[in-house]
Amino acid sequence: MNRSILLVAFSLFILSLSAQKIEVKDDKAYDGNKLFTGTNIVYFENTELKKAETVFKKGLKEGKELVFFKSGKLKAERYWKSGEKNGKWINYNEE
């Protein structure tokens, strides 16, 4: 019995971590009231298809950002350094 309760509690904890809501304000990403560091994945509404995958470091975009068409195909690759555009930005056709 205790083992089942522990397993359920652990599962709920893991679900709460994966359901974090990152908010972007003034070009900075926040997890609650703290600057976010990590990868934020945004999905098209009511789907499991990625809309964008962005890496943040201390609230600023950092490294490669991927943007997708609703079909799931890659739409763009963008590169960032400390929240500023950096390097080549590549756009793709959906065809």
Predicted confidence at residue 9, as pLDDT, reads: 54
Distance CA 4, CA 95 (A): 50
DSSP label at residue 40 = E
Nearest to residue 60, comparing CAs of 93, 88, 32, 85? Answer: 85
pLDDT of residue 42 exceeding 90, the answer is: yes
Better-predicted residue by pLDDT, 86 or 4: 86
pLDDT of residue 84 exceeding 80, the answer is: yes
Predicted confidence at residue 1, as pLDDT, reads: 60
Please give the sequence-ordered ranges of beta strands (E in DSSP) within the chain, or none if there are none.
22-25, 28-31, 34-35, 38-43, 50-57, 60-61, 63-68, 74-81, 84-85, 90-91
Supply the pTM of this predicted model: 0.75
Which residue shows structure tokens 């056709």? 93
